[in-house]
Amino acid sequence: MRTLGFDKPLYILPFDHRGSFQKKIFGWSGTLSSEQTAEIAATKQVIYDGFRAALLAGVPRQKAGILVDEQFGAEILHNASAHSYSTGCPAEKSGQSEFDFEYDENFADHIEAFHPTFCKVLVRYNPEGDRVLNHRQATRLRQLSEFLHNKSDSRLMFELLVPPEKEQLERVQWNEKLYDSEIRPKLMIKTITTFRTCESNQTCGKSRDLTIARTAKGLWQLHVARDVTTLVASSWVRGEDDNKVRERSALCSSE
């Protein structure tokens, strides 16, 4: 069995956008033609070319990786794997508020077709929100986690978003910035702690390997899943140094 977790510094360039990419960049909605799909794929190839140029310019390849989707980036994923770059590929459907698999019950076949270093999943989950919705999402998370743990060489990359509930916004007079600083960090801690500690509970998913945090410069910085509060603090603090992240992390865990 492979070693769990990831304990090396790694910065990932994310361009796995799908629905938002085709709509906001190209103005296209609905089902795409083969020509439109090829045009978007070519645009993403330009991004990948930039990544490879950065490596040639001196960026350490062991600290760099890409996150791109199968729909528009299949050739990129194959090429990156052939060059032993760190790769990530999303498992979730694009543009949905509820986490579900992009390829439904065939999700595992698509993961194994590319063998990405990381299988990334974006989940919108508020522990004080809709229990039925949370149950469905947690069940799918557990399904993905167990597949990756038992049958795949890919690690789980878990991106957590915590959208506010009406009552939570009311508590801060509808001030979303105040929600971000006063309420959301504790909800993230609660969510990640739940996922990491209730492996035997059928209603819970467990992120076995790692959690990720978005940095101020638009890259993904991976953190080892050793300390939940550090992970959570890193995921909501923007552009602060490690000492400040640790200070906020300690504050969250003590309240």
Q: What is the pLDDT of residues 107-118, one digit of tens each?
A: 999 999 999 999
CATH number of 11-254: 3.20.20
- Domain boundaries of the chain, sorted by first residue: 11-254
What are the tens digits of pLDDT across the range 199-243?
433 333 323 333 344 433 344 444 333 333 333 333 333 333 444
Q: Which residues contact 30 (CB under 8 A, 6 or more apart)?
A: none
Q: Considering only 72-81, 128-137, 165-174, 189-198, which range has the smallest mean pLDDT? A: 189-198
Q: Which tokens sit at 180?
A: 């971000």
pLDDT range class, residue 197, cuts 50, 70, 90: low
pLDDT at 198: 54
Contact 39, 245 (CB under 8 A): no
- Residues 168, 172: Cα–Cα separation, whole Å: 7
pLDDT range class, residue 140, cuts 50, 70, 90: very high
The single residue listed with the structure tokens 């990156």 is 80
pLDDT range class, residue 10, cuts 50, 70, 90: confident
pLDDT at 95: 87
pLDDT range class, residue 43, cuts 50, 70, 90: very high
pLDDT at 2: 55
User: How does 159-168 read in b/e, with b if 16+ C-beta sit within 10 Å?
Assistant: bbebebbeeb
The pTM of the full predicted model, rounded to 2 decimals, is 0.76
pLDDT of 245 above 50: no
